Homo-oligomer: A and B are copies of this chain.
Amino acid sequence: MTDTRAYHHGDLRRALLAAALEAVGEVGPAALSLRDLARRAGVSHAAPAHHFGDKAGLLTALAAQGFDLLAQALTEADDDLLEAGVAYVDFAVTHRAYFEVMFRPELYRADDAELIAARGRAGAALRSGVAALSGGGAPADTDRDSLAAWSIAHGFATLWLAGALPDRVGDNPREAARAVLRRLST
């Protein structure tokens, strides 16, 4: 598994990000320990600092990766707004660790160039789905509609992840999300 050569790990940056993803899934993004990541990767406790500077740097890289994955997921369901919303919720549940980092900007460098670019790609994918549906409406309407669509999908995803939803919604996030999101497009 860990093909660790002594010194010059070779792919430490990627290994640390993978370990971080795993650790975030286990203990949440706030309780992440750089020293734990170093142990998982089989390197010394100060090695992560060399690649990411500090904890915020590492989480910045993770968030940027996450936004790119989200953009990709949204693009694939681009033609259908409802399906894009379902894809959004599905992403949050399936890639929970990414999602939890992405929307906790106090944990990373929100002004990082790469992150901003990735976030922009995800936002564009979202907006293009709304624009396709609302057709030739005024831009202001598209703005408001995409905000509403984003809000309801994001809200449902967040509540789902927080375990705040009542039991009766079931255990299938895609299905439950579809029922709720449909309320918007009537």
Contact = CB atoms under 8 A, between A and B. Distances in A.
Sort chain A's interface into a size bin.
35 or more
Contact of A103 (B30, B156, B158): B158
The SS class assigned to the A binding surface is: helix
A169 interface: yes
Interface in A111-126: 123
A23 B159 CA distance: 25
A148 interface: yes
Interface stretch (A34-42, A73-81, A160-168): A160-168
A154 interface: yes
Interface of A: 28, 30-31, 103-107, 110, 123, 143-145, 147-148, 150-159, 162-166, 168-169, 179-181, 183-184, 186
